[in-house]
Amino acid sequence: MFTVPGLDDVRCAWVDIKAQGFVLHGFLTFLASDRFFPEYLESDGLGDLDLWSGRDCAIFVVQSPSAAWIQYTKSKGHPWWQLFGKNLPHDGPLAILLTQHGAAPLLSIDGTTRTFDEIFRPRLDQLHHKDEIGKILHRFGLRPTDHPSLILFHDLSDRAIWHIDLKDLVSVPQAQLRQALQTWFSGPDFKRLMEKQ
């Protein structure tokens, strides 16, 4: 699992990504309007998908990394840390505060409480996020409406892809979304794709 700012970051790091030995790659595409996808990926989704996709499949998600993700990948020597995390300012005062107190409530406005992490973590704004998802969909010959989806491929230069349409999961609550994704990654389609590679 790799959180990335966008398609160009993957292109720039492609040689290093390939050197990690992944046999299958993919993009999980979703927008803020895709209901529960953003919330699920912000909470437990990254860890779930990292486990379910396995060591041989790299899935890219256009999202800012959380302090917990940065800490986890650093402590485990995760490929994301090696390729993207080491270049982040992870030892400055703000990074240390985010790691230690990211989940602590910091500010309440009109009844909405924001954590330290939500206020200070660098985020991709929604318009930038939409642009990046649009670039990814266009790159793989998909329509701008083909999200949420999972796009799998062997090599970034390939034209042959596997497109898994996830639109039917937009309105399901997080627990059911998690279950559906878990079922897909443990099912025969994903197993066949991995065996082909």
The one-letter amino acid code at 78 reads H
pLDDT at 59 over 70: yes
Residue-averaged pLDDT of the chain: 85
Mean pLDDT of 95-103: 57
Of 34-48, 81-95, 118-132, the range with the highest mean pLDDT is 34-48
147 vs 180: CA distance, rounded Å: 16
Whole-angstrom distance, CA of residue 76 vs CA of residue 58: 16
User: Which residues lie below 8 Å from residue 6, measured CB to CB, with a gap of 6+?
Assistant: 62, 128, 131, 132, 135, 136
In the three-class reduction of DSSP (H, G, I as helix; E, B as strand; rest coil), residue 6 is classed as coil
Q: What is the mean pLDDT of residues 42-66?
A: 92
66: confidence class by pLDDT, cuts 50, 70, 90: confident
Residue 116 confidence (pLDDT) above 80: no
Q: What is the CATH topology of the domain spanning 2-64+124-196? A: Glutaredoxin (3.40.30)
Is residue 68 very low, low, confident or very high in pLDDT (cuts 50, 70, 90)? confident
Query: What are the extents of the domains in the chain?
Result: 2-64+124-196
Q: How many CB atoms sit inside 10 A of residue 162's CB?
A: 16
The percent of residues above 90 in pLDDT, for the chain, comes to: 59
The neighbour count for residue 148, using CB atoms within 10 Å, is 23
pLDDT band at 31 (very low <50, low <70, confident <90, very high): very high
Reported pTM? 0.80
Q: For 118-162, how does the pLDDT look when each residue is reduced to its tens digit (9 = 90+)?
A: 555 544 455 678 899 999 999 999 999 999 999 999 999 988 999
Q: What's the whole-number mean pLDDT along residues 103-130?
A: 63
- pLDDT score of 58 more than 90: yes
Residue type at 73 in one-letter notation: T
Cβ(2)–Cβ(80) below 8 Å:
yes
Q: Mean per-residue pLDDT for 166-188?
A: 95
Say how many C-beta atoms besides its own lie within 10 A of residue 35's C-beta: 18
Higher pLDDT, 125 or 34: 34
Which of 14-28, 68-82, 120-134, 169-183 has the lowest average pLDDT?
120-134
Residues 60, 31 contacting (CB under 8 angstroms): no
